[in-house]
Each structure stands twice: as structure tokens, then as C-alpha cells.
Amino acid sequence: MAEPNHLKFKVQRIIAISSVLLLIGKLIAYQLTNSVGVLTDALESIVNVTAGFISLFSIYIALKPKDQSHPYGHGKAEQLSASTEGILIFLAGVMIIFEAVKRLFVPAQIERLDIGIIIVAIAGLINYGLGYYSIFIGKKHNSMALVAGGRHLHSDTYSSIGLVIGLILLYVTRIAWLDSAIAIIFGLIIIFTGVKILKETVANLMDEADFKEIDKLATILWEHKNESWIEVHNLKVVKYGDLHHVDCDITLPWYLNIKDAHQESDALMNVITQHYSSNVDVSVHTDACNDTLCHCCTLYTCSVRVHPFEKEIRWSKEDIIAEKW
């Protein structure tokens, strides 16, 4: 297993083991306090544990090399994991609201809130640290599972902060219904987090175009443009875990021989490859120019130009994704 891949697996393993320990702590806090607010935190931790081990397994699968049955690798496993996590977070939010509403009608005696507040606060700080590290490593090595898991841990931290504030208020006022109100608020926050993660992962599973990435590539290709590159079009970027697959067409002078056209394609591929710090698979198709492109072609040495050069047209995002020829 390569070093970056080993690091991703190691980070997720630490998160999975830590989530088990934090769940035990929160369950103890619930037993001590009998607070439905603390129970919401414990229920979300059950999701953390489940999602943590699912992510661990998905990263293990995603890191397998590509083969004949999976020519683009196994990276989609991370996106499936992130989608599963989004569903689990959503369900946890629904369960929390259900328990909170039930507690409104069946009140219970709340005890030892001071200890519960301390445990929840410590767990929140640990979750924030783990989440920050998970997002950092995930973005650095293009791991959607780590990024989704880190965002989930951060949402857990924010809900813990609000929960601590609410529990302190409950501790001071002793107003029983505040316990359920706190749980309902944070149940809604958790549902929102789950929906947000699901929306992002489903978009990736459906290979939705990343226009920010395409716009960035358009700028880079223009800055490294060779005079023989008349235009680049039909560009597509698909992400498979830590692998980007880039496919595009380049229009070259029609009279170039196969060897020269191949060299220009390789030059374009090198520009794209250098843009990515992670694995990238680039496929370039060559097209021959025609008379309609003479007005914007900057190959001034062209001896077969039909029309005079008029104006250089900068490639835009719309130009390089357009399907031509």
C-alpha cells in the first residue's frame, strides 16, 4: 500500500476506534443524567461508530488497484460510504426528534447534569480535532470518505457545543421541557447535515460535472497553450476516489503527421497531469482543423491558411466542454 494510501487508512482506523470510546463515554453520561439531550449525542455517536467502520472498509476497497473488471479503479466505494453515512446521519436526526417529542409527554427526572456537561464537552473537543485532521488528510489525498467523515465529526462538535450551552441552561433553570427542546433543535441540525452530505455524494455518484475544476483546467491549459493547439473541447472530468479521469479533444493543424500530433497530445497530457498532485488518468483525442478556425489560429507560420488571422479567442469553460466535430 503506497504511503498516502496507508495514511488514509490509518487516519480512518484512528477515527473508528476513537468513535467507539466516545460512544461509551456518552452512554455513561446518559446513564448518569437521564437527559434526552445527552441521549441525542449518544445516538449520533452510534452513527459515528457505524459510519466510521463502513468508511474504514470502503477506503480499504477504494485503495485496491484497478483491474480488468474495474478499469477506473475502486474509488467509487468511498462515495458509496459517504452516501451511507449521510443516510445514517439523517436517520439519527429523526430518532433524536422522536425521542425528544416522546420525552415531552413522558417526563423523566434529570440528575447529575454537571458530570454530563463535562463528558459531552470533552467528547466534542476530541471530535473537532479528529474531524479537522480527517478533512485535512482527505482534501490532501482526495478521499471523499475522510472529508465526509470529518464534516460529520465537526457537525457533531457544533451540536455538542449547543448541547453544552443548553444543558448549562437546564442545570441553572431546572425547566424540564428545555431538555426536549434542545434535543429537537439539534436533531434538525443533524438531519440537515445528513441531507447535505447525501446531496454532495449523490452528485459525485452520478458523475455530475465539477465546473469549478473545469474552469481551473481551462485557465491552466490556456496559460500553457502551444501555438499548434488551435482549440481544446469536449473536456470531461470524473473523480473515482483519489483518481481523476480527464478526457478531452484537441484540434491541431490538419497537415501534421501522426508522430507530431502524438507529441502535441503528450504535451497537453503533461500539462493536465502536472496540475494534479494525486493520481490522474488522461485521455486525449486529436481532431484536424478546418477553414472556419483560421481567423483565430495563432500558428502564423501556417502555409495553408485560407483566411487571415483576426483575433485570438481565449478558451472559456463553455468552450472546452462543448462537443464539436
Residues 112, 192, single domain; the answer is yes
Residues 234, 198, single domain; the answer is no
- Domain of 56: which CATH number? 1.20.1510.10
Q: What is the pLDDT of residue 119?
A: 85
Residue at a domain's end among 205, 225, 248: 205
Q: What is the pLDDT of residue 78?
A: 63
- Domain of 224: which CATH number? 3.30.70.1350
Residue 281 structural domain: 211-321
Residues 35, 58, single domain; the answer is yes
Q: How many CA atoms lie within 13 A of 250 on its CB side?
A: 27
Residues 199, 224, single domain; the answer is no
Residues 158, 222, single domain; the answer is no
Residues 187, 277, single domain; the answer is no
Q: What is the pLDDT of residue 118?
A: 85
Residues 82/145, Cβ–Cβ less than 8 Å: yes
Residues 194, 254, single domain; the answer is no
Residues 13, 128, single domain; the answer is yes
Residues 77, 222, single domain; the answer is no
Inter-CA distances, 155 with 29, 100, 184, 190, 196, Å: 20, 19, 15, 7, 11
Q: What is the pLDDT of residue 73?
A: 62
Q: Is the pTM of this model over 0.75?
A: no
Q: What is the pLDDT of residue 259?
A: 92
Residues 287, 221, single domain; the answer is yes
Q: What is the pLDDT of residue 1?
A: 45
Residues 197, 263, single domain; the answer is no
Domain count across the chain: 2
Q: What is the rounded distance in angstroms from the CA atom of residue 304 to the CA atom of residue 302?
A: 6
Q: What is the pLDDT of residue 308?
A: 85
Residue at a domain's end among 159, 178, 205: 205
Residue at a domain's end among 152, 171, 205: 205
Q: What is the rounded distance in angstroms from the CA atom of residue 110 to the CA atom of residue 175?
A: 10
Full pLDDT tens readout for the chain, 325 residues: 455 667 777 888 888 888 888 888 888 888 888 777 777 777 777 777 877 787 777 777 766 766 666 656 666 666 666 677 778 778 877 877 887 787 777 666 666 777 878 888 888 899 899 889 888 888 777 676 677 778 778 877 877 777 787 778 777 877 777 767 777 887 787 788 778 877 777 666 555 556 777 888 888 888 888 888 888 888 888 776 566 778 889 999 998 899 999 999 999 999 888 877 667 778 899 999 888 888 888 888 888 888 888 888 787 777 777 776 5
Residues 104, 231, single domain; the answer is no
